Amino acid sequence: MVSVHAGTVPAPAARRERLGAHPVPGGVDVVVHAPHATAVQICLLDVEGQELRERRYDLLPGTHGRWSGHLPGVGAGQRYGFRVHGPWDIAHGHRHNPHKLLLDPYARALAGDARHVPQIYGGEVDEDFHPVSDEPDTRDSAPFVAHGVIIDEPEQVQDRPRVPWSRTVIYEAHVKGLTMRLPQVPEDLRGTYAGLAHPATIDHLRDLGVTAVELLPIHAKFSEPALQRRGAVNYWGYSTLAFFAPEPSYATAAARAAGPHAVVAEVRDMVAALHEAGLEVILDVVYNHTAEGGVDGPMLSWRGLDNAGYYLHSTETRAAYLDVTGTGNSVDFRAQHAVAMAVDSMRYWVQHIGVDGFRLDLAVTLGRHGTDFDPRHPLLVAMATDPVLGGVKQIAEPWDVGPHGWRTGQFAAPMAEWNDRFRDVTRSFWLADVASIRAGGRGQDLRDLATRLAGSADLFGHTGIPGGRGPTSSINYVTAHDGFTLADLVSYDIKHNWANGEDNRDGSDHNNSYNHGSEGPTDDPAILAARRRSMRAMLGTLLVSAGTPMITAGDEIGRTQHGNNNAYALDDERVWVDWDLQPWQRDLLATTTHLLTLRREHRALRSNRYTTFRTEHQDWREFISWFDRSGEPMRLEVWFDAGERVLQMLRRPPLPDGGQALVVVNGTVDDAQVHLAAGTEVRLVWDAAWERPEDPGPLLPPGSQVPVPALSMQIYLAEQA
């Protein structure tokens, strides 16, 4: 390493101040936030063989804690980082250490691989990375950390699908895991952004009938030290290293060899290809914490720039963090620069990469004033009112692990939310309750299931807006990346997470699953048939319920993780989607496709308003009615009867061509005879008892008596105008 201190940079020209390093005519303008620093240097890095050469330039202090400068003759492709001088005062939350090269929080691209070595820690640690003193470490970290790379700003994306919420179906996927075993994708493209954009991948998504791909985090990541020590990685990516830069390892080898600008271009091309197919792209983003971990973790970026400001600290001592995310640190969004960083990051991904929305991990942290949550927190208000972000999809994971952290239904418009209540009720009704009944116990009554089918008005029908935010604000799901897959829900009673290296202590013990009589793989045809029916019933419930459905990648083909409900640290065939399908998996794919087609083509299966009451002329309100097995309106006492698990839901949208949809649910362990409650002729278009979709049945007059198999669901439709 050769370092040359090259003096002080000139001030940037009078132009709009933008944080980060941006090419301008004649060079690069640089702005960084470090309010407690006594000096800040920008370090230009050049790799020459095995040697890393560094040129350091002093930035000029400005207002509001910002440091800036202009680098003449510097352009795109230049590696850089910062060294920050200032107090090392742990008691007051300051951890400045100029021996550590810091990544620009606004870096658009990265080069080099961060390595987990003692040199990347701000304080002195031993070879096992345990703190040995309160003194700063004086070893240089530059050879061991990722470097920012200056790139030209990509052009703004103008065209996008703009799918309305009422027609949105989300498909949650991992960039790598989706295509690593997809044989139609060329081997050099598998597991990459380009592989996701390949026609074979897009054809599957489009044929399936989803409208949006929600990608697990693709922000650049750095796996937690505890994982790295045991040779594992954070496969899911919930350990963000850079909020503006894409994860380089998901790019093709060709793009990585061509340079960081090519990695960014591959991401843009992926988004463009999905857009061309009519598919939106939603990013799962992790602004609630960073990869730097707890106070004794590595110093990579924010900790060395403004530890006291970026992170939420204990109310008792500034030497400790208040961790409401369970990851070691939490970003403090009471700080204006933290709010600005998150908003600027989202704007960049929308405007210059082209994404169509965000799923906000542990979103309660984003609305915290320390220990208190406010749905009108400045960051959440900024997102809702921003002219760029206000027009894209925003989805909250409405909880964190801090005080009073479960907030489902408590965010404000236009935010949608993951509805964990829908997940739990659907699983309980079709699985846990059935296990209880077969063991001689009882299940739950029908009230909660009906509430979820109707769009969870108890959660989303308020907030001061007439009608609330509406059912589409409820992101309905049965499975997600964390937890059992759909196939594992019906195959395992308990988690089997031994491969994670945490002695099966990790992952939830509250799964509401049911193995149907045998734990894990079995050759028993009766058990296998029962498992398949349960999967179909849960998919049917998901896709006829009012709200926005989300399907986890691979559930449409019965993907298994072999009972692992927290496979965040596995990156191999155990978690990648296996596209070598058995006949039953092809049948399940056909079923999922059929259900999505029915939902798309029939307005009555896509309720997007709540019904408060039926008016004389049945105006704009959608009319939903409930009936028992005899075709009579549900009586109050039946709703409370846990032994009565047969229900009919009739939807009659007010539109002239809305048609009618009748959903019949039999949650008992016995076949039932049901008198259809439809007010007109209907025909059976799907039955969860069918292994594979069949042709629609004959038109049946109102009141017809039909058999409904045990633990099944049927969908009847009237002829549309």
Please say whether the beta carbons of 610 and 461 come within 8 A.
Answer: yes
CA distance 369 to 337: 15
Return the ∠ at Cα 126 (arms to 123 and 128), rounded to 5°: 115
pLDDT at position 653 is 76
Q: What is the pLDDT of residue 577?
A: 98
- pLDDT 10s digits, 134-181: 999 999 999 999 999 999 999 999 999 999 999 999 999 999 999 999
The low-confidence residues of the chain, meaning pLDDT below 70, are 1-6, 11-16, 463-464, 466-467, 611-622, 654-658, 720-721
pLDDT at 620: 44
Name, in order, each residue with C-beta under 8 angstroms of 24's C-beta and a sequence gap of 6 or more.
12, 13, 15, 70
pLDDT of amino acid 355: 98
**Euclidean distance between CA atoms 411 and 331, whole angstroms:** 19
State residue 462's pLDDT score: 80
For the chain, the straight-line distance linking the first and the last C-alpha, in angstroms and rounded, comes to 76
Please name every residue paired with 219 in a beta bridge, in sequence order, or none if there are none.
Answer: 246
| C-alpha dihedral, 96 to 101 to 104 to 107, nearest 10° | -170
Question: Which residues 6+ apart lie within 8 Å of 64 measured at CB?
Answer: 35
pLDDT for 683: 96
- Token readout for 310 is 């970026």
CA distance 665 to 661: 13
Cβ-count burial 153-176 (b if 16+ within 10 Å, e if not): ebeebeebeebebeebbbbbbbbb
Q: Write the CA distances from 279 to 198, 209, 580, 605, integer angstroms.
A: 13, 10, 25, 21
Which pLDDT value is given to residue 646?
97
Positions annotated as catalytic residues are: 361, 397
The DSSP letter of residue 539 is H
